[in-house]
Amino acid sequence: MARILIAGSLAFDRIMTFSGRFKDHFLPDKLHQISVSFFIDRVVEEFGGTAGNIGYNLALLYVSPHLVANAGTDFDKYDEYLTGLGIDTSTIGRIPDVQTASAYIMTDLSDNQITAFTPGACAEAYAGTALVAGAHLLHVSPTSDEDMLVLPEKARTAGVPYFFDPGQRMTSLPVETLRAGIEGADVLFVNDYELALAIERTGWNEAQIVERVRLLVVTLGAEGSRLVTREGESLIPSVPAKAVDPTGAGDAYRAGFIAGYVAGLPDSTSAKIASTIAACTVETRGTQSHSPSRDDLKARYEGAYSGETWPL
């Protein structure tokens, strides 16, 4: 069985819903001195983190990944949950005297988000990086500075293809770590805003970034996703969805793409699988609360991409 490694965070998500719009609480001429407070309608604690979310969605697609992540002393209930999904948790590091990471995510009526994140155990370097050498694929999502530098290095040395997915670390990663992660990645995942940040921070334009990877994937929300290579680009339409909560859609998209990739499918087909599982995610609140069956996924995929058959 192919060993799929998902590096990233494991976190408890505190998801908050604000029944207004953030923009109505900011004065344009006072942005240098912000002091705002938001009255929250509801708070829900969920299992999350980039590695956890991607792993959950892979399990929905019948792929069993290994999670390359650290957790703290309060992780037992999350561990039991992942094991119940068929995810091997033996590769998860346990850090003593530290809590598991926590994310505080507030979403307004326009689907704008404000997120605060305390890294906890995932700030520590992962101790088991030697296992990269035996992998079929490594996906590197936001985690510690050291891991986002060392894990791609290990993959390049071992000849293991890796996907680089800096996400919310785009602004805080050291520039050299960001450049090193992009250089030689099989696939680079960004949304359109993150692409602009990558261009600004690396000093490379889009064409120069594409020269350094096999494939650049730019997600565009409801507008679909761009697949860009040195030979050209294509636009993959999104799967129509009644969006309730965008949180976790990006991680679901990554999982769908990974599932297609490890099945040996073309990038365009992998992106369509990705769009299908992402559409299911945004229709529920939370990052791991959706649970489409294979028949559900098949119907969504074939309804969106006329004439095509669900490939998994």
The single residue listed with the structure tokens 């960004």 is: 190
Helices (H), 123-191: 145-158, 175-182
Q: Are 119 and 144 in contact (CB under 8 A)?
A: yes
Catalytic positions, please?
251
**Spatial distance between the Cα atoms of 284 and 298, rounded to a whole number of angstroms:** 19
189 by Cβ neighbours in 10 Å (0-12 / 13-18 / 19+) ranks as: buried
**Spatial distance between the Cα atoms of 287 and 250, rounded to a whole number of angstroms:** 10
* Residue in 83, 15, 25 with CA at minimum distance from that of residue 49: 15
Q: Say which DSSP state 126 is in.
A: P
Q: Are 143 and 120 in contact (CB under 8 A)?
A: no
**Spatial distance between the Cα atoms of 292 and 107, rounded to a whole number of angstroms:** 24
The single residue listed with the structure tokens 């605060």 is: 116
**Spatial distance between the Cα atoms of 158 and 310, rounded to a whole number of angstroms:** 33
Using H for helix, E for strand and C for coil, what is the string for 212-256?
Answer: CCCEEEEECHHHCEEEEECCEEEEECCCCCCCCCCCCHHHHHHHH
Q: Mention every residue, 6+ apart, whose C-beta is less than 8 A from residue 111.
A: 243, 246
Q: How many CB atoms lie within 10 A of CB 179?
A: 17
Q: Say which DSSP state 284 is in.
A: S
